[in-house]
Structure 1
Amino acid sequence: MTAALAAPAWFRHSTDLRLQAIARAARPDFDAWLSHVRSAAACTRPVRLAGTIATVEAATGRLLAERATADMPDGVIYKPCGNRRESVCPSCSKLYQRDAYQVVRAGLVGGKGVPKQVAHHPAVFPTFTAPSFGEVHTRIVKRHTCARRKDCDCRPEPCHARRDLTVCQHGVRLVCFARHELDDARLGTPLCLDCYDHDAHVVWNLMVGELWRRTTIAINRYLTGLCRRRGFPFHAVPYVTVDGDVRYRKVPPFRLSFGKAAEMQRRAVVHLHAIARLDGRDPDDDTAIPPPPSGLDAADIKAAIDHAAATIAFTTDTGNPVGWRIAWGDQVHTKLITVAADGEVTDAQVAAYLAKYATKSTEITGHSSARLCDETITLYADAHGSHTERLIEACWRLGDTGHNPTTDPADLLRLRTPSTGGVLGPTRTCPACGTRTRCRTCPACSARTAEEARTAAAQQMAETTAKPRPADPRPRLRRWAHMLGFGGHFLTKSRHYSITFALLRDQRIVFRRLQNSGPEQTEPGGEPTTLIVNFLQFVGAGWHTTADAMLANTSAAMAREHAETARHHLTTLAA
C-alpha cells in the first residue's frame, strides 16, 4: 500500500463523529487500513510505532527486504497496549486472562512443556486473609441456594446486629441491621472511619509480599522436618562456591511449587489465593518434575500451611514507636485440588478463579487512578474523607521519610486535625532546594533523604553478618499510594510450577508469522531461515480520532462474532 493519503481539512478538524467516520470509510485505502490495524483493532489505547522493518537471512545476516512504516496506512504500526486491567482495556485484559488461565492450569494438569503426570501430584488451594483493622460493613450468607455466586440473590444476614447498641469513642453506633445487597456502596466501608486503623492497613498491604515469602519458607521447613522424622533419604546436590570449589549440600526429596493470585477486597485489603503442588526432586536434573515421595500427601501440605499461617509474623522497622505487626488473619481456608468433578475444587475452577483476579485491581474499592505525584495527590487524598481517601492519605503521610515521626500519639492525631489540613497545606517554596509544593515536607528533599537512607542501610547490611530485620517500608508507600499500599504483582508463581507468559507470547508471535508468511520461512527442523528485525520508536498512544476507534472496534467485534459463530457451528456438527 502506498503512503497514507492526506485527509481533507474538514476531516482533520471536525468534531462530529459521523463526519469523521464517513470521511475515513470514503478513503480509497479504507480496506487496507482495516487490515493494517486488525491486530490492535479491539484495543482501547493502542501504541503507535514508526520506523523500518527489516527481513534478514538468519544464516548470513544478509538484508533481504526492508519496509518503512511511512508506506503504510497512517504512517505508523498499531500495537495493542497489553494492559492487564479490565477497566483500562477489556480486549488486552481478556488476552492476559486467557494466558493466565493457561499458565495456572498447565501447572495442575500438564501440557505446553509441563509433564502431564503433575495431574497426579498432591495439590491444595489455600486462601490467606488479612487481619481486622476495624469493623466494616459486610454481607454474610450462611447458606447459598443460588446457582451462580456472581448473581447471588440469597438472603444475607444482618450486617452487625447487636443488642447493646455499642457506641465508640467518637460517638458512632457500631451497629448495622441492614441486609446489604451485592451492589451496596457501603460494603467494605468502616462502621467508624476514625476508629479504623488506616495506617496499619496500608503498611500490611505493602508488606504482604514479605509475609508471603516468609510463609513459603516456613512451609518448606515444616515439610523438611516431617521428612526427617519419617526417615526419608535426602539428596546430595553439588554446588560451586565463590572460590570455585565443588561442595555438596543435603536437600529434601521433595519440591513445593507455588502459584499465587492477589485479590483486592471491598475493604481495600489484599487477600492471597494460592496453589501449592508437591513434586519430587531429581538430584541429577534440576528441571525435571518427578512424582513426590509416597509418604507425603495433600494432608501434610495442609498441615504445613496451617502451621505457617498461625506462626509466621514479624514487626516492621518504621517511625511507629513499636512498629507494625504483620501477620495473617484468622480465616485461612485450604481446599484439596482434584482433576475429578467430585473433589472440593477442580483444576479448571482454580485456574479460572485465579485468572479472573489477574485482570483486577483496585476498581472494586471505587478508586482507580494512575501513579500519584505531588500535583495529583490532592485529588485523591483526604485525612477526613472517605475510606479510600484516608488510605491514600496514610500512604502519603507515612511515606514522607524526610519527616521525623513523633512518638507521642497526641501529636499523630494533631496531624489529622482540620486546622493543619492534614499533610497538605498552602503552596510554598522549599528553602533548601526551591521546589514548589503543598506538602509539609518537600518531596524532592524527602526522595534525596530516602536514597541516602537506603544507601546507608545497604552499606550497614554489607558490613554486618547479622540477620537484617525487615526494611523500613515507608520509602515505597508513596510509590504505591495509587494501589492503596499494595506494590506486588497480582499473579506470580515459582520457577518450577509452570510455563511463563513470555513463552505463550513467543508462541503466539511464531504462529501469526507462519500464518502471514507461510511455512517456507521455517526449516524442517523448526529453526527459522529468516529473522524480522524492527527499528521502531514510540510516536504516540491511542487512535487518531474517535471515529477510527469506533470503526476499528466495530470491525474487531464483527470478527469475534464471526469466529464464535463458526466455532459454535463446528461444535454442533461434531456433536
Structure 2
Amino acid sequence: MVGQPLCAGCYDYLGHVLFAWHLPELWRRFTITLRRAIATHLKTSGLSADSVRVSFVKVVELQARAIPHIHALIRLDPPGALATTASGDHISDGPAAPRGGREPRHGTDRQPVWSSPITATELTALIRQAAGRVRIDVPTGDNHPNQGVRTLRFGAQIDAQALTPETTTAATDSETARTTATASSRLSPRRVAAYLAKYVTKSLHDFGITARRLSTEAIGELDVSEHVRAILTVIAELAEHGNAAVAGIGRWLHTLGYRGHITTKSRHYSTTMGALRTARATWTRQHATNDATQLNATTPRGAVSPDQRPHAPLDPDAVAWEFDHAGHTSAGDRVLVISAALRHITARITAITETRSRIGSRWPAPPGGGDG
C-alpha cells in the first residue's frame, strides 16, 4: 500500500520524526555549507569569493509516507545590490545568470548580460557536495526508551539537475532536433515553476488531519492510518520524555512534526510582498484617475457628474453609529470574565486528568518501538 511501511515493526519511527522536526535546521546548514563551498571554489579559481550571490526558492512536499521532501531552485546571481523602494522593498530582480542558474529573468531595467564564473555543471556538483556534508547529531533524551544520539542527514536520493532555457523547434527541423529540444525543455524554468507550484497545493487533509492543533488525547480516536498514528504517538512521547532538542514538538502534532514553512526563498531571489502591494496600490490609483478623467470627458457640457450631484438630506429618524469604547466598562466586568476563563481551564484540566487515569496508559506503543 502506498505510504505504508513494508514492515511496520522494522520502521524507524523515531528517526522519521526527528528528521521532520530538524529539517528546517538541516536546510539552513545546507545553505551555509553551499555558500562556503562556492566561495572556496571561486578562491581556488583565483576569483573573489563575492563574485556571485546564491539565491534560492524551496518548496516542502509531505510525501505519501508522511515525511517532508524538499524541492528547490538554486541560482547564481551577480553580487550587485538591487534597487529598492523608499520602504526598503526590492523592486528589481536583476539580470539572469546565463551559466550557473540558466533562468532568464526580465527586470524593469535592461542591464548588460552577466556571465557567472561557475557553470551549471559545477554548481550541480557543489550542491551534491554540500548536501552530502550536512549532518546534525541529536540526543533523544535520557528519559526516552530509545535514548542515545541520532545523526540526521540528507538521504542518498539527492537529485540536482541544471535548468536549460526554454526552446522552440521550427517546423523544418529534423526529428532528432525535435527530440533534443523536447528533452531540454523538460527542465525549462516555466516547467519547473509549474512543478513546484503543484506541491504548494498539497494538504495534510490527505492523511486525515486538519490544519488545527491536535491534543495528544485525540490520537487514538483520529480517522488516520496506523502509520500516521504511530508517527503521532512518537511525537507525543518525545513531547513528554524529550530534551531541549525537541522542545515544543507536541504543539506540531497537526503537521506530523514538521515546524517549518511550506515555501521559503532567499531575500534576493525575486520580488517581495511589499513590492507587490506597492504595485497593486499604484495600479489602483492610476486606474481610478483614468476612470475619473474619462467620466469628465464624456459628461456633456452643463451636466453634473454623479460625484458632483448634491447628496440627499439625512433622514432625521436614521440611526447614526459612533465608536463608544473598547474593553470592559468596569473592573467588575473584567473580574467576571477572568474568573469564567479560569473556571473553564480548571474544568478542562480536571477532565483530562480523569481521562488519563481511566485509560491507564496515555498512548499505545508504536510498532517496532522506534528501533530501525
The partner residue of 1:257 within 55, 69, 75 is 55
> Residue 71 of structure 2 aligns with which residue?
273
Check conservation: 2:216, 2:236, Cα contact below 8 A.
no
Using the alignment, how far apart are the partners of 1:355 and 1:294 within structure 2? 27
> Residue 199 of structure 1 aligns with which residue?
14
Using the alignment, how far apart are the partners of 1:398 and 1:486 within structure 2? 14
Post-superposition Cα deviations, 1:10-59, rounded to whole Å, max 9, x if no partner, equal xxxxxxxxxxxxxxxxxxxxxxxxxxxxxxxxxxxxxxxxxxxxxxxxxx
How much does 1:511 deviate? 4.4
Residue 188 of structure 1: SS of its match in structure 2? coil
Using the alignment, how far apart are the partners of 1:500 and 1:285 within structure 2? 12
- TM-score, scaled to structure 1: 0.40
| 1:284/1:497 CA distance change after superposition, 3 Å | closer
> Residue 477 of structure 1 aligns with which residue?
249
> Residue 394 of structure 1 aligns with which residue?
234
Using the alignment, how far apart are the partners of 1:376 and 1:501 within structure 2? 38
> Residue 213 of structure 2 aligns with which residue?
371
Q: Which has the higher helix share?
A: 2
Please show how residues 230-245 of structure 1 align to structure 2 within 5 Å. 230-232=45-47, 234=48
The partner residue of 2:157 within 331, 334, 341 is 331
Check conservation: 2:21, 2:246, Cα contact below 8 A.
no
Using the alignment, how far apart are the partners of 2:250 and 2:64 within structure 1? 21
How much does 1:191 deviate? 1.6
Check conservation: 2:137, 2:151, Cα contact below 8 A.
yes
> Residue 126 of structure 2 aligns with which residue?
304
The partner residue of 1:486 within 230, 241, 258 is 258
How much does 1:510 deviate? 5.4
Check conservation: 1:315, 1:325, Cα contact below 8 A.
yes
Gaps in structure 2 of 5+ consecutive residues: 85-89, 98-113, 168-180, 294-322, 324-372
Check conservation: 1:267, 1:365, Cα contact below 8 A.
no
AA aligned opposite 1:340: E
Gaps in structure 1 of 5+ consecutive residues: 1-185, 235-250, 406-449, 451-471, 522-534, 536-575
AA aligned opposite 2:68: V
> Residue 41 of structure 2 aligns with which residue?
226
| 1:350/1:283 CA distance change after superposition, 3 Å | closer
Q: Percent identity?
A: 34
How much does 1:390 deviate? 0.9
AA aligned opposite 1:491: T
Using the alignment, how far apart are the partners of 2:64 and 2:83 within structure 1? 45
Using the alignment, how far apart are the partners of 1:503 and 1:358 within structure 2? 22
Check conservation: 1:256, 1:276, Cα contact below 8 A.
yes
How much does 1:310 deviate? 1.6
AA aligned opposite 1:345: L
> Residue 11 of structure 1 aligns with which residue?
none
Residue 271 of structure 1: SS of its match in structure 2? strand
Q: Which has the higher strand share?
A: 1
Q: CA RMSD in A?
A: 3.0
Using the alignment, how far apart are the partners of 2:44 and 2:28 within structure 1? 25
Using the alignment, how far apart are the partners of 1:223 and 1:217 within structure 2? 10
- TM-score, scaled to structure 2: 0.60
The partner residue of 2:138 within 313, 316, 331 is 316
How much does 1:200 deviate? 1.1
Residue 160 of structure 2: SS of its match in structure 1? strand
Residue 278 of structure 1: SS of its match in structure 2? strand
Using the alignment, how far apart are the partners of 2:45 and 2:115 within structure 1? 11
